Amino acid sequence: MNEHDFSEIYAIMEASFPASECRTFDSQKALLKHPSYRILTEKNEQDHTVAFLAGWEFTHFRFVEHIAVDSSIRGGGLGKKLMSRFISESDNLVVLEVEPPVDEWTRRRIRFYERLGFHLNQFEYVQPPLREGQADLRLQIMSYPDALSEQEFAPFKQLLYTEVYGLNSQR
């Protein structure tokens, strides 16, 4: 991926997520060298990136870290298209993190994933900080095609904590 394409992706990421839910530019760019990390994109007629899905491919499951569409064209089906493409590329379980359903925006986000076949799992989950000096972030796990118990999720959580978040110890 060239610098310009990554810059477009990061601009959408910054506009779509609070700082607590994304890495710095350099930290995010460094992930491109990780063999399990990949980014799917959608471009417009002018060859500008307008949507992306950043995910991780592991042996027994896949993790959607970020999915976002440029705010000027949200609601046009690009998010569904990217997520459907990601899901269809493997028979492995897919997991992602969402904010708990506390307001209309978080409930809408969850319904978006539910329409795609995801299940909101009812156990506690904490996302480790993505940037130096940040606190843990309380989130929930959604999974496709089946719901997970906390025990079923435990080995996936451990891999997320070590590979995605760079933690060396069990939390």
The structure's pTM equals 0.94
Domain boundaries of the chain, sorted by first residue: 3-164
Helix-, strand-, coil-residue percentages of the chain, each rounded to 5: 40, 25, 35
Q: Indicate the CATH number of 3-164 among 3.90.1170.40, 2.40.30.10, 3.40.47.10, 3.40.630.30.
A: 3.40.630.30
H helix intervals, 31-160:
78-88, 104-115, 150-159
What would the pLDDT profile of 39-96 be if each residue is shown by its tens digit?
999 999 999 999 999 999 999 999 999 999 999 999 999 999 999 999 999 999 999 9
The residues, ordered by sequence, that sit 6+ positions from 15 with a Cβ below 8 Å of its Cβ are: 68, 70, 71
DSSP state for residue 128 in the 8-state scheme:
P
Amino acid at 11: A
